[in-house]
Amino acid sequence: MSEALALKKSVTIPADLLEQVQGLNPAGNLSAYVTEALRAKVERDNLARLLDEVRAEHGPEDPADVARWGQILA
């Protein structure tokens, strides 16, 4: 996505969280950090939605299959 399409918004961030972010990224760009975090959150939400759709169509996952695939993918 192009930075030219970026919009400026105001957000409220708890002071302790902002301090943690600044500690992790002392010379960094706060907007870039927040953008990366929001992209990650959107990706997780989209994956959760997809998983809900798969479960609705095919039922819940088998714990044995989850364990087996966890070992394969580890």
What pLDDT score was predicted for residue 27? 83
Q: Averaged in consecutive runs of 10 residues, what is the pLDDT profile of the chain (74 residues)?
A: 79 96 89 94 98 95 95 95
What pLDDT score was predicted for residue 1? 53
What pLDDT score was predicted for residue 48? 97
What pLDDT score was predicted for residue 26? 80
- Residues 21, 30: contact at Cβ < 8 Å? yes
Confidence (pTM): 0.74
What pLDDT score was predicted for residue 3? 61
